[in-house]
Structure 1
Amino acid sequence: MKSITSRDNPLYKELKLLATSSQARRKAGRTLLDGVHLCEVYLDQVGPPSLCVISESARQLVEVDALLADCGSRRVQCIMLPDALYHAVSQVENGVGVLFVVDTPTVGMPSRLDRSAVLLDNLQDPGNMGSILRSAAAAGIEQVFCSKGTVFAWSPKVLRAGMGAHFLLNIFENVDLEALLDGAGVPVLATSSHASQRIFDVDLRRPVAWLFGHEGQGVSPDLLARATHQVVIPHLGKVESLNVAASAAVCFFEQLRQKSAH
């Protein structure tokens, strides 16, 4: 295992860029997976990473040792950083001290929207994005389409919130959602607090596309006009609306409930 102790090391500088700059991650086509769980899921679902990075203190941990052994058997390059240098790269407080550098996957856009999918219009919060991806994967949805203004799906914060869901999904970014909806072969459902139709009264046993928008402004009017159905999630109490990630989870699992009902 190679040890890097200088902040001026070119590889360390590259790691700092990947950790701190979304633009650098997009340009390099790489991102960081932080923590044992994400790294284990990646090895299991995808394969060997480009690079494994650990902190000096993590070398003593049993779970990290097992991960290093797995990486060694797959001939993955591993480097060790002093704790101070590692903590400047990791965004996880009180983490175990291990991360992977991985390539962000590139998948070809399907010619048509013809199966259950999630469409995200200008979603901003990494936590919401990760939570939606996690719920979608758990509900058996495989495709996620993100508009140009939506938070980068492969940022470290979204990856941590997704808990490995990314590796079970096909995620398409910088998508023209209007064009996608114009040629959609499945019904498109958008949640709205102003809608009169309850989500529980819509037939969800067939494939549908779920459309969610910005945390404050919601789905843009142009996209909302293209939705086949606008539905409301009924709730009690003096709360104006649900968080977008909570709304998405309700939608996905209502669809799963209907499909699973005998």
Structure 2
Amino acid sequence: MSVIYLESKENAKIKHLRALIELNNYRKKHKQTVLEGTHLSLAWLQQNQHITSLFTTEAALEHIDLKKIQQIYKGHIFILSEVLYRDLSTLGTTLPCLAVIETPQQSSSLNFNVDTLILDDVQDPGNVGTLLRSAAAANIKQIICTKGVASLWSPRVLRAGMGAHFSLECFENIHLEDILPQFNIPVYVTSSHKPQSLYTQNLTQPCAWVLGNEGQGASPYALENAQAVAIPQPGGQESLNVAIAGSICFFEMVRQRQ
């Protein structure tokens, strides 16, 4: 392991890091992304995964969490000034740690017989990351995303997922029309305008969940080709946040199976 000091924001490695943080097309082109914070970096390393390069500050280098990372990671550590790091960071107050990794590529094929979360045009990175975190906690291992979904491996989605990505099989840019007819298990779609209650469904066997766009809700195709269920809302709100709605569905499934 070597420690290298970088002082200029015009340095090629700094420019590369900034582009990975800010530009989705750049991340796709280089097949890399950025983990921000020691929690994600440690979770990644503990999955026996590789960090390409690590950026931090001189003061943070002596912190116990950075020491833990150094025990596993043996590559270059690039030291930035506090000012330069703050200029790059999207978190602000956390322990300085930016890790560049190779973006995992899809290594398996879709399984139409297992619990699955299908995100259809869910665009907010916080919602997407939260849904992945809830799905992982509920033991849903397969995630399918349509083209309009926020990029799963963007730094913001990774941050909201809190490491959930690392235990999931994720598929992106999939068309609903190509997959819904192939499922051999019940497929549910959430809609606040349908009469069937979530709590009347038998969720003890594998099933798939379709969650739609934050503003528009489920797509017409999903509503026509999946079983629509509603979450009772006696307080009278028009709808629930999609990440909250999905989490309620997942853990009703968990409750029924215990």
- TM-score scaled by structure 2? 0.95
Q: Decide which moves more: 54-63 or 120-129.
A: 54-63
Whether the 8 Å contact between 1:112 and 1:185 is mirrored in structure 2 is no
Whether the 8 Å contact between 2:189 and 2:222 is mirrored in structure 1 is no
Per-residue deviation at 1:46? 3.8
Letter in 1 for 2:212: G
User: Residues of 1 paired with 2:148 and 2:236: CA distance?
Assistant: 31
Per-residue deviation at 1:8? 1.8
User: Residues of 2 paired with 1:195 and 1:171: CA distance?
Assistant: 29
The equivalent residue for 1:69 is 71
The equivalent residue for 2:187 is 188
User: Residues of 1 paired with 2:95 and 2:187: CA distance?
Assistant: 42
- Does residue 242 (structure 1) correspond to residue 244 (structure 2)? The answer is no
Unaligned runs of 5+ in 2: none
Q: Structure 1 pair 176/109, CA: closer, same or farther in 2 (3 Å)?
A: farther
User: Residues of 2 paired with 1:44 and 1:111: CA distance?
Assistant: 26
Mapping of 1:206-245 within 5 angstroms? Answer: 206-227=205-226, 229-245=227-243
The equivalent residue for 1:259 is 257
User: Residues of 2 paired with 1:194 and 1:145: CA distance?
Assistant: 24
Q: Secondary structure at the match of 2:46?
A: helix
Q: Secondary structure at the match of 1:87?
A: helix
User: Residues of 1 paired with 2:143 and 2:64: CA distance?
Assistant: 36
User: Residues of 2 paired with 1:224 and 1:26: CA distance?
Assistant: 32
Letter in 2 for 1:215: E
Whether the 8 Å contact between 1:197 and 1:231 is mirrored in structure 2 is yes
The equivalent residue for 1:18 is 20
- TM-score scaled by structure 1? 0.94
Q: Decide which moves more: 138-147 or 19-28.
A: 19-28
Q: Structure 1 pair 240/103, CA: closer, same or farther in 2 (3 Å)?
A: same
- Does residue 104 (structure 1) correspond to residue 103 (structure 2)? The answer is yes
Whether the 8 Å contact between 1:194 and 1:232 is mirrored in structure 2 is yes
Whether the 8 Å contact between 1:112 and 1:183 is mirrored in structure 2 is no
Letter in 1 for 2:137: A
Letter in 2 for 1:216: G
The equivalent residue for 1:41 is 43
Paired-residue identity, %: 39
User: Residues of 2 paired with 1:117 and 1:244: CA distance?
Assistant: 16
User: Residues of 1 paired with 2:174 and 2:107: CA distance?
Assistant: 12
Q: Secondary structure at the match of 1:197?
A: coil
The equivalent residue for 2:93 is 94
User: Residues of 2 paired with 1:216 and 1:163: CA distance?
Assistant: 25
Q: Secondary structure at the match of 1:151?
A: coil
Q: Secondary structure at the match of 2:225?
A: coil
Per-residue deviation at 1:59? 2.0
Mapping of 1:72-221 within 5 angstroms? Answer: 75-108=74-107, 110-221=109-220
Q: Secondary structure at the match of 2:78?
A: strand
Per-residue deviation at 1:215? 0.2
TM-superposition CA deviations, 1:215-236 (whole Å, max 9, x none): 0001110122110x11110122
Kindly tell me the number of residue pairs found equivalent between the two proteins: 256
